[in-house]
Amino acid sequence: MSASVHRYSARSLAGDYARAGLGVALTGAPLLLVSPGSAMIWVLAPLAILFGAFGLRTAGRQATRVEMSDEGIRSTGPFGAAISWERLDVLRLRYYSSKRGRSRPADSDGWLQLVLGGDGRKLRIDSALSDFDAVLARASSEAKRRGLALDDATRHNLQALGLIAEGAP
């Protein structure tokens, strides 16, 4: 298998950019109107900073490249790390629902976060990454090959996506 490169596109992150921008606007703009001694500064300023940090984190994700090869997986950019498949010792897959009552990744009303670990490094990848399914399938295959123990949530999510059989350890 040759190396494949995956990125977070601006389109896949548009919602996060919109939330960050709207949050900064709704909390930062009123800061210009309140008097310097107002208690509202103590409420609005931290919120504006939080939304600004979220926007910067989103830009950092867009600048990130994930490269997958026969040797391992690596991420370049602000949140970079490299993990050899031979050193893979952690695979966790979490599903975060955006609607109440949804608990399976196949519902597609949410997002997935894949955490890979090895050699003391962690790599976090979410489902906004281009061709996330291929990255997840390869990581799952490598975890199975290495005999990694999976926690219940990860096993449940991989089963819901058809990447491991029901009842698999």
Which residues are CB-neighbours of 81 under 8 A, at least 6 positions away? Answer: 74, 75, 121, 122, 123
The strand pair at 81-84 and 72-76 is best described as antiparallel
Beta-bridge mates of residue 67: 5, 74
**Whether pTM exceeds 0.75:** yes
* Confidence (pLDDT) at 116: 96
pLDDT of residue 1: 55
Q: Give residue 101's pLDDT.
A: 58
Instruction: Report the pLDDT value the prediction gives residue 132, as an integer from 0 to 100.
Output: 94
Under-70 pLDDT residues of the chain: 1-2, 99-108, 165-169
Structure confidence at residue 77 (pLDDT): 85
Domain positions in the chain are: 4-62, 70-160
CATH number (3.10.20, 2.60.40, 2.30.29, 1.10.287) of 70-160 reads 2.30.29
> What is the predicted pLDDT for the residue at 38?
85
